[in-house]
Amino acid sequence: MILFRFAYITLITNFFISLVYSTPTSVLKYSAGHLHIPIKKVDNLSKRKLQRRKSTEIDLQHESGIYYSAILEIGTSHQELPVLFDSGSSDMWVSSSSNPYCLESEGYVNQTYNGETVTPFIDCKALGTFDYNGSSSFERLDIGRFYIKYSDESFADGFWAKEKLRLNGIDISTLQFGVADYATVPVGGVLGIGFPRRESVKGYDDAPNEFYPNFPQVLKNEGVIGVAAYSMFLNEVSSDAGSILFGAVDPTKYTGSLYTFPMVNEYPNVVDKPATLAMTLQALGAKSDSSCKYKTFTTTKQAVLLDSGTTLMTAPPEIAEEMAFFCWGPTYNESEGIFYFDCPSDDDDTEFIFDFGDLKITLPLASLVISSSGDGHCGFGLTPASYSMTLGAIFLSSAYVVYDLDNYQISIAQAKWDGNPSQKSRVRIPKDGTIYGATKATATPWTTDEPVKVDYDMFEDHSSCIASQNETNQTSSESSSSMTSPVNSTSLSLQVSVTSTTADSQPTADQTSTTLDAEPSSIVFPDDNKAVTIVVTATTTVASSNMCQCTF
């Protein structure tokens, strides 16, 4: 999970976006967060165990381009707390009201953590915290310490607990989660929905060293869903909300075919089955039809993590740079870890193509642009990283993704932003993971960390346009060559403007200008004691021309 990194948040605040916080009822502005399960309720549900449903849908709120959250109701005091839904992690944890990293935290002056002075910086009044002393049903578990550290170096540190949880009418009382007395992650809490084997229960002092049923597993164990699987629809970047549908698929939220791919095991030397929600990316490129511009950045297979808890995307530096330079000449700020550039026009048709073998997901340029605050500069939603490629929320907004944790597979399709969802349209995911209407992918998955090249052309369908562009480039090169060596001939028709000047480059009084169509060898130069400036325009069938100015 990467929430920009704190450096990124500073950059967005000062350069691209002004983060405005709202009243406690809307929690974070970012934006207001809420949780909704649009299913039929059972009478007195709060007094019953979880009941079996065909599916459970949770609406997510898009927190101003930062992350997707839902409101969780905790304890007998019914405290409402927005939690980040994170497919890249597996634990649920909440921030304690005593967290000294909170601004205006009472009684925590000059606090230290691991010997270092704590500097408060998190607006916990806006983000929310959990006061476990205010709930009579709270149970602190004597199983060891809770600790989790994310790839952006943020962390949460505390203890394990159980408590009554409610997701707008559905009660859960068996979920183990962490309570962070110390946390540097700027959220009220995180609800991880990845594999249990990714839980943060090992590798640190006083760790419990025992996995537990996390949120998707609890829904399955308690009979809410028949399989630990869920479909994610984050909606377009400009939208305020998306949804997660546990145990089912909604065909109205995607267009084209839904393809089912095997997950890949990123750590074959450590575990025998996939532990992350990753799949194989076969190739990556970009295109602009209006400018007849097409480029393939890589055809090397690699594992990519689909992570809703990461805001942007990460890619190896060489790929990130090529993507950023496809349309613009951006500037890379190394300290902030982001590219920025002049904002593109609204009619820019640039698209980035993610090729998974049987399926290509198209990402419009607008989805990758971090809007400016009015100064005409924008950020690019991709950061260079030396570790494996991560496709965060900025990518997932264009994809409809089904994560099947029981059967180790991911189904994916192009998202349909203008869909008309309804309860009747949902397709239940069976225990064997065979989704009705989905197609099993034939592409061979990535299996090791050895590079595997895919030998094919991503943009074969545009070969005629590419050929025309190459011909134009060759023509331009030949024209330039003929001007530096005027004795060489060319088959182009050249429009030549000849201006006679003196040797000191000052125009003579009897300056003449001649325009003619001719081969370079037929151009008649003025007197030998005068310099000649020749402006040559190569006339081709392409709308744009190539200009070359040469002085002999």
The per-residue pLDDT for range 114-166, each reduced to its tens digit, is: 999 999 999 999 999 999 999 999 999 999 999 999 888 999 999 999 999 98
Residue 110 has pLDDT above 80, yes or no: no
- In which band, very low, low, confident or very high, does the pLDDT at 378 lie, cut at 50, 70 and 90? confident
What percentage of the chain reaches a pLDDT higher than 90? 45
Six token digits for residue 481: 């060559």
pLDDT the model gives residue 471:
53
pLDDT confidence band for 496 (50 / 70 / 90) = very low
To which H or E segment does residue 399 belong?
A: strand 399-404
In a domain, 135, yes or no: yes
DSSP 42: P
The answer to the question of residue 236 being in a domain is: no
Same domain, 442 and 527: no
The three-point CA angle 255-257-262 to 5° equals 125
Contacts of 512 (CB under 8 A, 6+ apart): 498, 499, 500, 526
Distance CA 357, CA 412 (A): 12
pLDDT value of residue 1: 61
DSSP three-state, residue 246: strand
Cα radius of gyration rounded to whole Å, the chain: 29
pLDDT at position 359 over 90: yes
Q: In whole angstroms, give the CA distance from residue 50 to residue 353.
A: 42
Which amino acid, 277?
L
For the cut 70, the answer to whether the pLDDT of residue 501 exceeds it is: no
CB 387 within 8 A of CB 151: yes
Burial string for 74-98 (b: 16+ CB within 10 Å, else e) reads: bbebebbbbbbbbbbbbbbbbbbbb
Are residues 310 and 198 located together in one domain of the fold?
Answer: no
- Which token pair is 518? 């001719």
Query: Other CB atoms closer than 10 Å to residue 203's CB: what's the count?
Result: 9
**391 and 279 share a domain?**
yes
Q: Which of 455, 488, 517 is the last residue of a domain?
A: 455
* pLDDT beyond 90 at 310: no
- Classify residue 166 by its DSSP letter: E
Residue 74 lies in a domain: yes
pLDDT tens, 22-49? 222 222 222 222 222 222 211 222 222 2
Q: What is the pLDDT of residues 190-234, one digit of tens each?
A: 999 999 999 999 999 999 999 999 999 999 998 888 999 999 998
Whether residue 87 is found in the same domain as residue 172? yes
464: pLDDT strictly greater than 70 = no
Q: Does one domain contain both 27 and 113?
A: yes
Residue 262 lies in a domain: yes
- Look at residue 18 in the predicted model and tell me its pLDDT: 22
**Stretch (H or E) spanning 279:** strand 278-281
SS3 426: coil
Pick from 56-70, 89-103, 108-122, 310-324: least confident = 56-70
Q: What is the mean pLDDT of residues 278-305?
A: 93
- 439 and 511 part of one domain: no
Beta strand extents in 173-236 (DSSP E only): 176-183, 189-192, 229-233
Shared domain check, 490 and 424 = no
Side-chain half-sphere of 247: how many Cα atoms within 13 Å? 22
Whether residue 21 is predicted with pLDDT greater than 80 in this model: the reply is no
Task: Determine the Cα–Cα distance for residues 428 and 436; give it in Å rounded to an integer.
Answer: 8
Residue 178 has pLDDT above 70, yes or no: yes
Assigned domain for 238 exists: no
Secondary structure of residue 277 in the 3-state scheme? coil
Same domain, yes or no: 219 and 70: yes
Span 238-253, pLDDT tens digits: 777 788 899 999 999 9
Residue 381 near residue 369 (C-beta atoms within 8 A): yes
Evaluate whether 390 touches 2 at the Cβ level (below 8 Å): yes
Closest CA to 345 of 291, 382, 383, 397: 291
Residues designated catalytic: 86, 307
Same domain, 74 and 187: yes
Contact 403, 394 (CB under 8 A): no
Q: How many CB atoms lie within 10 A of CB 171?
A: 16
- 240 found inside a domain: no
Write out the residue range of the structural domain in which residue 107 sits.
6-225
